[in-house]
């Protein structure tokens, strides 16, 4: 067997989260109209201001065209063929205590390695579990509330804290921002809401685990995190979906707001079903994530490990408004088989002495296409802005592609911008070297890839770093993990 064949064999792997939970759901029939928007709002008994906002978003969306600038190819999405709401049947409204959660759902999360039992392994982590369109469980809410921290499903926060929602919703990502953000604004069904009060350091990791289960549905979640002055929070999201032959749409919006001296660390481990080796099925992941460093000396850091999805279109960005604010983007994007990823970031420097760091690691295997797209913009008032960008691509085999699209716009002469890029291959020399030292091909590939991503992986919270490493190995290998 040649080493190319061995690479191929190592790459042929099963998606571990591809099972379907057999559970009764209330699902909207496919179709999108103003009535769909009203119906979602009605289901959630939303206040008038939110319905109005949704409708504005919907009517704006109707005027928009699908963006086509990304380096991805996929068949046109029929928005009338999608169901926009699906929720497991339940007897009462709102998230329940764990005792009342359907055991089938608990088993689902258990199987995914996200035990919802508060006494379980991830005891230092509070979890919001979003299943299709709704939050089904939310742990440690009460304990966090003792510190004044709000961590709850979005749909519940709308009722409990309407003033905060009104103030912050759409303040970072306007419903007019782009095609998918407008769609999400009209149709979002749930997500997580986090508020960390002034001077509070959130004592545990917060996390939301997104699961798409129902067929032919789209998931449109919305996450809003606010860190008030001098607050700190570390938040992690994870995502999986069953294996299906149809493509499914996931269009999320995440907004982060950091006030004076606040810090938000947001980590993503994205493992949506990527489709099979021939590109059949998989999630279309069109996500708008943006943070506003509004306060002085505030800091936001995005870390993402993207291994799933048939199409990834995602640019977690940071607006550095406050003077001395800091933005960081650390990304590992793995594409295999027929996957396509177009991902990167935007760092918008507006305040003085703002600095940003971008470290992007793209790994392309199979026949996949992996693109980094990043914008660094320095506004006219952003004295002494600094940016350092490094994007590295690793190619496995000779049928995949890695692309880099950096954009730099500088309107202030005091700016210092550095950009480094490299493209390399896992060479047969490297593989043979490792094998000659006794490692099998699986272990060798895993070691080489993890070495390549090390700078990014070490940004992840401890609790997840090992899981993310295993996931990385699993996406690329057959037997490791």
Partner 1 sequence: MKMLEIKNLHASVGDKEILRGINLTINAGEVHAIMGPNGAGKSTLSNVLAGRDGYTITQGEVLYKGENLLELAAEERAQRGVFLAFQYPVEIPGVSNIYLLKAALNAVRKYQGLDELDAIDFLSLVRSKLDLVKMDEQFLHRGVNEGFSGGEKKRNEILQMALLEPSLAILDETDSGLDIDALKTVSEGVNGLRSADRSIVMITHYQRLLDYIEPDFVHVLSDGKIVKTGDKELAKELEKTGYSWVQQGQAE
Residues contributing to the site for partner 1 (CB under 8 A): 1-3, 424, 427-430, 432-441, 443, 447-448, 450-455
CB 392 within 8 A of CB 377: no
In whole angstroms, how close is the CB of 277 to partner 1 at the nearest point?
23
In whole angstroms, how close is the CB of 434 to partner 1 at the nearest point?
7
Give Dmax (Cα) for the chain: 68
SS3 162: helix
**Please, which residue, 202 or 448, has the CB nearer to partner 1?**
448
Closest to 392 (Cα-Cα) out of 364, 365, 430 = 364
In whole angstroms, how close is the CB of 248 to partner 1 at the nearest point?
34
CB 433 within 8 A of CB 402: no
In whole angstroms, how close is the CB of 391 to partner 1 at the nearest point?
14
For 165-204, letters b (16+ CB in 10 Å) and e give: beebbbebbebebbbbbbbbbbbbbbbbbbbbbeebebeb
**Please, which residue, 260 or 392, has the CB nearer to partner 1?**
392
**Please, which residue, 42 or 454, has the CB nearer to partner 1?**
454
In whole angstroms, how close is the CB of 135 to partner 1 at the nearest point?
38
In whole angstroms, how close is the CB of 443 to partner 1 at the nearest point?
7
**Please, which residue, 49 or 433, has the CB nearer to partner 1?**
433
**Please, which residue, 111 or 425, has the CB nearer to partner 1?**
425
Closest to 191 (Cα-Cα) out of 226, 257, 237, 145 = 237
**Please, which residue, 49 or 432, has the CB nearer to partner 1?**
432
**Please, which residue, 162 or 397, has the CB nearer to partner 1?**
397
Round to whole Å and give the CA distance between 50 and 138. 23
**Please, which residue, 307 or 355, has the CB nearer to partner 1?**
307
In whole angstroms, how close is the CB of 366 to partner 1 at the nearest point?
20
Dihedrals phi, psi of 73, to nearest 5 degrees: -130, 130
Give Rg (Cα) of the chain: 22
In whole angstroms, how close is the CB of 276 to partner 1 at the nearest point?
28
CB 316 within 8 A of CB 289: yes
CA dihedral 256, 72, 308, 16 (to 10 degrees): 160
CB 268 within 8 A of CB 240: no
């Amino acid at each position: 067997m040649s080493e190319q064949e061995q690479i191929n064999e190592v790459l042929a792997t099963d998606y571990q989260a591809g099972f379907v939970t057999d559970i009764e759901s209330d699902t909207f029939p496919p179709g999108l109209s103003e009535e769909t928007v009203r119906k979602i709002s009605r289901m959630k008994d939303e206040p008038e201001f939110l319905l109005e906002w949704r409708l504005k978003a919907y009517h704006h969306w109707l005027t928009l065209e699908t963006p086509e600038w990304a380096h991805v190819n996929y068949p046109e999405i029929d928005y009338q063929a999608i169901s926009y709401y699906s929720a497991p049947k339940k007897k009462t409204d709102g998230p329940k205590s764990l005792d009342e959660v359907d055991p089938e759902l608990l088993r689902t999360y258990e199987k995914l390695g996200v035990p919802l039992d508060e006494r379980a392994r991830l005891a230092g982590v509070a979890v919001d579990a979003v299943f299709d369109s709704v939050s089904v469980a939310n742990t440690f809410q009460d304990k966090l509330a003792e510190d004044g921290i709000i961590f709850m499903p979005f749909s519940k926060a709308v009722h409990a804290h309407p003033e905060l929602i009104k103030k912050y919703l759409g303040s970072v990502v306007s419903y007019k921002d782009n095609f998918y953000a407008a769609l999400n604004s009209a149709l979002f069904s749930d997500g997580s809401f986090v508020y960390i009060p002034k001077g509070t350091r959130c004592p545990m990791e917060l996390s939301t685990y997104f699961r798409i289960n129902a067929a032919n549905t789209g998931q449109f979640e919305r996450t809003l995190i606010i860190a008030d002055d001098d607050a700190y929070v570390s938040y992690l999201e994870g995502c999986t979906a069953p294996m299906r032959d149809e493509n499914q749409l996931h269009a999320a919006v995440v907004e982060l707001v950091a006030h004076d001296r606040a810090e938000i660390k947001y980590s993503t481990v994205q493992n949506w079903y990527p489709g099979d080796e021939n590109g059949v099925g998989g999630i279309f992941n069109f996500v708008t994530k943006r943070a506003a460093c509004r306060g002085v000396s505030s800091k936001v850091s995005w870390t993402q490990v993207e291994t799933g999805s048939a199409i990834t279109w995602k640019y977690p960005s940071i607006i550095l408004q406050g003077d001395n604010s800091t933005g960081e983007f650390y990304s590992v994007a793995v594409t295999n088989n027929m996957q396509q990823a177009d991902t990167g970031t935007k760092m918008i420097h507006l305040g003085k002495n703002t600095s940003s760091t971008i470290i992007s690691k793209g790994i392309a295997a199979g026949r996949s296409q992996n693109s980094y797209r990043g914008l660094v913009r320095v506004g006219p008032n952003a004295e002494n802005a600094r940016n350092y960008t490094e994007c590295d691509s690793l190619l496995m085999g000779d049928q995949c592609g890695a692309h880099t699209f950096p954009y730099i716009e500088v309107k202030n002469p005091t700016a210092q911008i550095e950009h480094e890029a490299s493209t390399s291959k896992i060479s047969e020399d490297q593989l043979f070297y490792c094998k000659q030292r006794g490692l099998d091909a699986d272990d060798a590939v895993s070691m080489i890839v993890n070495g390549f991503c090390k700078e990014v992986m070490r940004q992840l919270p401890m609790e997840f770093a090992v899981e993310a490493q295993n996931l990385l190995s699993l996406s690329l290998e057959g037997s490791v993990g």
